Amino acid sequence: MSFDLTGKRIFVAGHRGMVGSALLRRLEREDCECLTAERSDLDLRDQPAVRAWFAANTPDAVILAAAKVGGIKANDNFPADFLQDNLLIQSNVIGAAHEHHASKLLFLGSSCIYPKFAEQPIGEDQLLTGPLEPTNEWYAIAKIAGIKLCQAYRKQHGCDFISAMPTNLYGPGDNYDPETSHVLPALIRKAADAKQSGEQNLRIWGSGTPLREFLHVDDLADALVFLLKNYSAGRHINVGSGQEISIADLARLVMQVAGLTGEVLTDRSQPDGTPRKLLDSSRISAMGWNATIPLEEGVKTVFDSFMKDRT
């Protein structure tokens, strides 16, 4: 059942993003060739262009890491973009992969596909068992459609298309824009700004009580290569670290790493989102893959490199 990467030409869609660039780093250790396309040369929302690219390049396998992504506020503020761009990108790439006979495709989703009040830890079978979190239902609906499209191509055409659902990610190449980023890069940037201005407190959005699980993107890239080689089934598979923390404690960790001695202040005018989102990753763990980068270590590395890039 294993998919041998030796000599394979693998299209990493979204190679400039945090996940795509981590995949390129990880795939350097495999005996395969990575194909990439710059956004200026190929708009993945453009179906004829995507078809033409696949006809010219005929990849053996595809990892679909390209997506319109963002934090809680970006999702809430740009629902049409999050729904439409993601539907177009995934439908074009998955369709063209079938049309041009890619032997394998790995689609990437997100833990926000699960219901807002899903049972914890969240097993794969919790999908479509309840209402979604309103701030990110648009993105979630697109990602659910992506899982279903892979399953549909598997059922109708026998394609070996699989889907992985990662938990909240962080790492090198993240988006640090204060309005559109996810929480960890936002806190790193706020802490770096505070350090420079002499401020000792850190202000977070919401109440600080939501719980999140964080996975370093290098761990995710390793899991994706593992799944590409070893997983072949219609059912999507969770990829988490098992390391859960409240947003207030995460802020304290970032403050500690940054050397800030003040307090965590809250801004309750901002949304909390889902109260808890801990994935049950027992299926991938039973296959032999586990995350290796502890949150404390990952946050320190990312903070140090953010500070270095700033100077």
Write out the catalytic residue numbers.
139
Q: Which is nearer to ligand GFB, 204 or 278 (CB)?
A: 204
Residue from 168, 241, 243, 281 binding ligand GFB (CB under 6 A): 168
Rounded to whole angstroms, how far apart are CA atoms 66 and 108?
Answer: 9
Q: Which is nearer to ligand GFB, 110 or 281 (CB)?
A: 110
**Contact between 139 and ligand GFB per CB under 6 A:** yes
Q: Which is nearer to ligand GFB, 42 or 211 (CB)?
A: 211
Residue from 59, 71, 121, 146 binding ligand GFB (CB under 6 A): 71
Q: Which is nearer to ligand GFB, 229 or 276 (CB)?
A: 276
For the chain, what is the radius of gyration of the CA atoms?
Answer: 19
Stretch that binds ligand GFB, among 12-20, 51-59, 135-143, 296-304 (CB under 6 A): 135-143
Rounded to whole angstroms, how far apart are CA atoms 66 and 151?
Answer: 19
Half-sphere exposure of 306 (CA within 13 A, CB side): 28
Rounded to whole angstroms, how far apart are CA atoms 8 and 63?
Answer: 13
CA angle 122, 124, 126 (to 5 degrees): 65
CA distances from 287 to 86, 151, 230, 231 (A): 30, 21, 8, 9
Residue from 19, 37, 60, 75 binding ligand GFB (CB under 6 A): 75
**Contact between 238 and ligand GFB per CB under 6 A:** no
**Residue of this chain nearest to ligand GFB (CB atom):** 71
Minimum CB separation of residue 156 from ligand GFB in Å reads: 28
Residue from 32, 63, 186, 237 binding ligand GFB (CB under 6 A): 186
67 φ, ψ to 5°? -165, 160
Tokens of 30: 């495999």
Is the CB of residue 152 less than 8 Å from the CB of residue 142? Answer: no
Tokens of 90: 């995934």
For residue 114, which of 131, 124, 127 has the smallest C-alpha distance?
127
Rounded to whole angstroms, how far apart are CA atoms 117 and 277?
Answer: 9
Lay out the site mask for ligand GFB across 195-234 (x = CB under 6 A, - = otherwise).
---------xxx---x-x----------------------
**Contact between 298 and ligand GFB per CB under 6 A:** no
Which positions from 24 through 53 interact with ligand GFB, judged by CB under 6 A? none
**Contact between 98 and ligand GFB per CB under 6 A:** no
Residue 24 burial (CB < 10 Å; 0-12/13-18/19+)? Answer: middle
Q: Which parts of this chain interact with ligand GFB (CB under 6 A)?
A: 71-72, 75, 110, 112, 135-136, 139, 168, 181-183, 186, 204-206, 210, 212, 247, 270-274
